[in-house]
């Protein structure tokens, strides 16, 4: 059981505690927050709070999170856009909105469930029961290429390439604002946000993170970028661009939502890796999704 101490601030005064909790604890929905309150797992000075309790903004709340219930990843017939596949690896163009692996709040309907069905259970076990085959992840609302390993030999070889940066991952995105330079690097450590546990942030003592960016096209108030990851931290491109004042268009967590646009304009457009068995260089790419292209067309019309 994990115990947290959470402190709302003055801007939170008047908010219902169940809604506020859902915004503070990773993977906690409002209904799950209500269950915690009903079970007496959220206390103030040792006294359980009701789910409709209104915050004053000066509390120190104690939250006791129960141990997660075990999940089983099961095969599910979910369509996949397979870009490359052989006996060792499979590369998929993941659509926006598809979660990569089962987790609390997303027990099924994930890429892992789809891969288990498509590959007939032939996936590496290095990632554990809930992440079979998964070498690296991309966010739910990020689309594009993701590679999975079909056996432990391939998984270990690809994981080593992630460590030495020979597995190259290239993204395209639309960033808010204009850039004076044509290219640059954001080298800033990333860790859990000190207040909002659902977010990551550039923080002292965080894990090293390096993002290379290059301008593809300028628009009034926006910029089309290509980004290359040197490291692969959670939400890395989103956090890094936001930290330099250029959040990704449509990013509801690190920027702001855009009416009619679900999720951020961020797409994993290319992969380059050394095939774990043959030693040959494999270079793959996929087109930008239609929603991304539509945003580029709209921005072009503003000129």
* Residues acting as catalytic residues: 139
Nearest residue to 170 via CA among 201, 141, 217, 138 = 138
What does the block give as tokens for 40? 């007496």
Please return the burial class of 214, using the count of CB atoms within 10 Å of its CB with bins 0-12, 13-18 and 19+.
middle
What does the block give as tokens for 278? 């043959």
Residue 176 near residue 221 (C-beta atoms within 8 A): yes
Residues 6+ apart with CB under 8 A from 267: 142, 143, 144, 171, 172, 173, 288, 289, 292
What does the block give as tokens for 186? 């954001």
Q: Is 29 helix (H, G, I), strand (E, B) or coil?
A: coil
* Residue 140: Cβ within 10 Å count: 16
Residues 6+ apart with CB under 8 A from 26: 197, 198
Nearest-5° Cα angle at 161, 160 to 164 = 90
What DSSP state is assigned to residue 54? B
- Alpha-carbon distance values, 103 to 27, 47, 124 (Å): 8, 30, 19
Listed in order, strand segments (DSSP E) in 203-256 are 210-219, 222-229
* Residue 142: Cβ within 10 Å count: 26
């Amino acid at each position: 059981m994990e115990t947290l101490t959470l402190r709302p601030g003055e801007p939170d005064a008047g908010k219902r505690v169940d809604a506020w909790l859902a915004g503070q604890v990773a993977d906690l929905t409002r209904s799950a927050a209500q269950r915690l309150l009903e079970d007496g797992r959220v206390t103030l000075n040792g006294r359980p709070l009701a789910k409709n309790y209104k915050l004053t903004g000066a509390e120190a709340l104690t939250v006791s999170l129960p141990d997660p219930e075990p999940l089983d990843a099961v095969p599910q017939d979910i369509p996949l856009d397979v870009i490359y596949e052989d006996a060792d690896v499979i590369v998929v163009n993941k659509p926006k909105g598809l979660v990569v692996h089962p987790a609390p709040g997303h027990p099924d309907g994930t890429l892992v469930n789809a891969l288990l069905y498509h590959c007939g259970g032939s996936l590496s076990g290095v990632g554990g029961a809930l992440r079979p085959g998964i070498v690296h992840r991309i966010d739910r609302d990020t689309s594009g290429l993701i590679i999975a390993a079909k056996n432990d030999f391939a998984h270990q070889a690809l994981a080593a390439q992630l460590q030495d940066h020979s597995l190259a991952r290239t993204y395209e995105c639309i960033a808010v604002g204009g850039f004076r330079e044509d290219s640059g690097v954001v080298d800033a450590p990333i860790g859990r946000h000190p207040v909002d546990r659902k977010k990551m942030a550039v923080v002292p003592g965080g894990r090293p993170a390096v993002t290379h960016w290059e301008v593809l096209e300028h628009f009034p108030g926006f910029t089309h970028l290509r980004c290359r990851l040197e490291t692969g931290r959670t939400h890395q491109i989103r956090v890094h661009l936001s930290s330099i004042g250029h959040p990704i268009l449509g990013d509801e967590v690190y920027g702001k939502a855009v009416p009619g646009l679900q999720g951020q304009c961020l797409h994993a457009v290319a992969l380059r890796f050394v095939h774990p068995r043959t030693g040959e260089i494999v270079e793959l790419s996929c087109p930008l999704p239609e929603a991304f292209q539509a945003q580029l067309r709209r921005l072009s019309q503003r000129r």
